[in-house]
Chain A
């Protein structure tokens, strides 16, 4: 058993880490709730892109004509990315930028019919109520620093979960698991609920909290990859003049597919974009099994010859980031998982609010008194003998 002094340290840790992060965690839980159903809600809000019905075996248009169609619409712009969405097999998306070195938030998206290479829509991913929730959740409209700040709040949340689990021990020593003393004081009832809800959802909250923190490091992680592995792979092209005559993109992607037949292209970074070089199409492949579909493997294709320059597995820190994403979003197990994610999210809100209530309702008493009081309260309704382990 922990000594009284150790318990006090953990208790103070739990109190302060919780107090500092609670307001932000509440915001994250509330904005996170609609984000769990992002896909469904954006369809409901009318963002669905209509495609004409065609036989399922209709051949796909060449990617060169997809790019051409996009640039025909905006001749002065550049393609930064081309990507596929697994939920929309009939569509290919293009990200267009006014200049190759445009800031990351200056871009437009085009949805192109994968079979006819016709530009169907210009989806506004940076407008509307879902974008508002997303931005609040990701960085509170405060850019990279907002994101890192929320990462720090998430870190405090994880510490408060761990310290909360530690102090759960001494508080529950004389109580049965799951006891909710409904007919005592309101404070006691909420203390029991706070303990029960918190300890039961602990693992989920730890995983979603920790993966959320990892996601806030995405800029740092991708930058490390860019200046590490990517720079190494394109090093032989250093100093060469920019590619003037581009080879066929369709051929480049075909070569990438042939090089890694058990993977599928997920997105392509175009020459001059941050995830490529001036001389390459970077075709990012992902696996075809559930787990490997989250992992990416870049194939760097010489943009002038469509020949393969290099292809390597992503380093561990990028793989960690990529695996953290589904674990945070809860989008990898169908609708039943999304619903349980939402329920657990609401339970976390109750834990946060009850924690705040417990602090507000007793903040004037010294900690020693509060711990003694809790032990006294618990002793009244104790269900097993304390044994010789006290203190």
Chain B
């Protein structure tokens, strides 16, 4: 019983860990620029850009190395991808 619970929790964290963290950062960024100027704006810019950076990393940079072995067999495509 205890064991299956901890698996469930780790599954939840595995799937929703990063999304929840990003949601908290975004919410902070959306609110902070409302609260003040200066540092509050800068904190807002940084936290709002994080999701965009995460997308960029996964779409353009992450898989090229890991998938190299898979796509190597296809010839020219893999060279273009890198």
A positions within 8 Å CB-CB of B: 1, 165, 168-169, 172-173, 177-180, 182-183, 193, 196-197, 199-204, 207, 289-291, 294, 323, 326-327, 332-334, 336-337, 340, 343-344, 347, 384, 387-389
Contacts and interface: CB of A to CB of B under 8 A. Distances in A.
B33 A337 contact: yes
Looking at A204, A332, A343, the one whose CB has the most chain B CB atoms below 10 A away is A204
Interface in B15-34: 15-19, 22-24, 26-27, 30, 33-34
A183 B70 contact: yes
Which of A165, A197, A336 has the most CB atoms of chain B within a 10 A radius of its CB? A336
A168 B19 contact: yes
B79 interface: no
16 contacts: A165-B19, A169-B12, A173-B11, A183-B70, A197-B55, A199-B19, A200-B54, A202-B19, A203-B22, A204-B30, A294-B34, A337-B45, A344-B48, A344-B51, A387-B7, A389-B8
A172 B69 CA distance: 23
A168 B15 contact: yes
Interface residues of B, number: 45
Given A177-B19, A180-B63, A344 B36 contact: no
Given A182-B81, A204-B26, A389-B8, A177 B18 contact: yes
Contacts of A196: 55, 58-59
Nearest to A176: B14
Interface in B47-76: 48-49, 51-52, 54-55, 57-59, 62-63, 67, 70-71, 74
A320 to B, nearest CB: 13
Interface of B: 3-4, 7-8, 10-12, 14-19, 22-24, 26-27, 30, 33-37, 40-41, 44-45, 48-49, 51-52, 54-55, 57-59, 62-63, 67, 70-71, 74, 77, 81
B33 A333 contact: yes
Nearest to A169: B15
A334 B41 contact: yes
A177 B17 contact: yes
A196 B40 CA distance: 28
Contacts of A332: 33-34
Contact of A183 (B15, B34, B67): B67
B78 to A, nearest CB: 8
Contacts of A178: 18, 54, 57-58, 62
Contact of B16 (A169, A326, A384): A169
A291 B59 contact: no
Contact of B67 (A182, A200, A203): A182
Contact of A202 (B23, B44, B63): B23
Q: Which of A193, A337, A384 has the most CB of B within 10 A?
A: A337
Given A169-B15, A332-B33, A337 B54 contact: no
B43 to A, nearest CB: 10
Contact of A291 (B30, B34, B77): B34
A326 B31 CA distance: 11
Given A168-B15, A203-B26, A291 B35 contact: yes
A203 B23 contact: yes
Given A173-B11, A199-B22, 4 more contacts: A172-B15, A200-B22, A290-B34, A340-B48
Given A204-B30, A204-B48, A389-B4, A347 B55 contact: yes
Nearest to A347: B55
A387 B74 contact: no
A294 B31 CA distance: 13
A230 B14 CA distance: 53
Contacts of B71: 182-183
